[in-house]
Structure 1
């Protein structure tokens, strides 16, 4: 097998207790939210927000089963940003690389969901590799191979009122930024993981993941204190071409975003299904 096991971020996953309430929240935030889908075998329903080559996923449990036990456990802790899915050249490639790294990946899982395109039902197909046995203490990761990307990355689905063009990264609160350092080095490779003073940074592609102490988070993201008191993945960032436009859309939706002196706009987790949101120019 040839190819890269990990090629950057494919999508971010937020697990929610009430998927329809979460959908309504993201409509208020100015996202074009796709109709509900259902994952065969997994017992989960989702709503997607599509961008150019990334997306954001809200997931709710509709049929409890062994495949969604981890998701249900996450909800018991308070929900929120649970996983980042990683782009790969192939699920089998990722499985082999992670096995060699000692990560004990779960077997490759094949599943799909129906999507409607132009009035016709198509079947989007995926192959994923989860790290369920030997998992991270903070943000979880899995590899996602798209068998039918033409049924997911649709340009007509990527037109958001807030102007969002893609994921710009994720921020994780960690009492010790090095809690998962050895783990993420095995997942991503040493070349893209670095220390930046009190932070740990995974700089893989255009969507970096930053682990930082709570006091650092509160200084960088004023006014959006995390909902949970434990170490917790806390914030997702989105690129927008016009931050003022994004802020206007948020205010028109009845929200009270926080504008920072350096030109970003923040939304607290209470208004975004358990994960704080940042809009920044890019």
Structure 2
């Protein structure tokens, strides 16, 4: 299969308020808080055709989505687009993958209606390093809205997800990423070398999703924004690195 990115996910657990504040301070426009029928809450950082999702759980404990509660803090989800979830489910099973049947859920969008989705999820296993699934948008007009795509920091795309010590062959069997997004596979030693001192902000567990690369022509401004937010940051070699110590993830900003 040719794999088109739908979104990446950062699991904020019960600290969604803090994540919302940090990403706003970094110059991102966030969608209003969403409340999924599955029990989770979220904010999306929307680009053309894909987005970064901050997902969490209500602090009052009124609902617990076990999938989120059991998942690690930080970069945790890789979601590809599906135009036909049943076909995706059948194709995954035919290829030998263990996947869950299509699941329908929604979240209200104030003043607009319910954003509705169908997902097919690969069952957790040691190959992946995070949650991997496929998503169909039944109401894309309620997610990919122009007013949410303009970001003060100039960010316009997700470029890469950095995956440490995962099964590269398993990912290759899924298909090849397209549309300018890629998976960067690392051993832990190579990840540490590439991200330098910032790698120490990412805990040692294996396999795992560890960092996200975003594109902005104003990548060099991110140091100032991050420093104002109290986050470790450095500009080096045509990129800016920003650590999110509270969310066990590093962000890399490039042109």
What is the TM-score normalised by the length of structure 2? 0.90
Q: Structure 2 matches for 1:89-104, cutoff 5 A?
A: 89-104=83-98
For 1:85, what is the secondary structure of its paired residue? Answer: strand
CA RMSD of aligned residues (A): 1.9
CA contact (8 A) 1:6 1:94 kept: no
Deviation sequence 1:189-221 (CA, Å, 0-9, x none): xxx3xxxxxxxxxx4331101110122112222
Structure 1 residue 6 displacement after superposition: 5.0
Structure 1 residue 30 displacement after superposition: 1.4
Counterpart in 1 of 2:198? 224
Q: Does 1:172 align with 2:147?
A: no
Q: Does 1:146 align with 2:120?
A: no
Q: Does 1:121 align with 2:118?
A: no
Q: Structure 2 matches for 1:63-102, cutoff 5 A?
A: 63-65=62-64, 68-75=65-72, 79-102=73-96
Alpha-carbon distance in 2 for matches of 1:216, 1:135: 20
Q: 1:52 aligns with which of 48, 58, 69?
A: 48
Alpha-carbon distance in 1 for matches of 2:44, 2:188: 29
Misfit runs of 4+, over 4 Å: none
Counterpart in 2 of 1:259? 235
Deviation sequence 1:33-71 (CA, Å, 0-9, x none): 12110111x110001111111100111123545xx3232
Unpaired runs of 5+ residues, structure 1, are 193-202
Deviation sequence 1:54-98 (CA, Å, 0-9, x none): 100111123545xx32321114xxx11111110122211211110
Counterpart in 1 of 2:20? 23
Counterpart in 2 of 1:181? 168
Q: Does 1:238 align with 2:234?
A: no
For 2:197, what is the secondary structure of its paired residue? Answer: coil
Q: 1:230 to 1:86 in 2, by over 3 A?
A: same
Deviation sequence 1:83-125 (CA, Å, 0-9, x none): 1110122211211110111112111001111113xxx231111
Alpha-carbon distance in 1 for matches of 2:27, 2:197: 20
Structure 1 residue 254 displacement after superposition: 4.3
For 1:259, what is the secondary structure of its paired residue? Answer: strand
Q: Does 1:43 align with 2:43?
A: no
Alpha-carbon distance in 2 for matches of 1:245, 1:51: 19
Alpha-carbon distance in 2 for matches of 1:215, 1:161: 35
Alpha-carbon distance in 2 for matches of 1:64, 1:130: 21
Unpaired runs of 5+ residues, structure 2, are none
Q: 1:269 to 1:245 in 2, by over 3 A?
A: closer
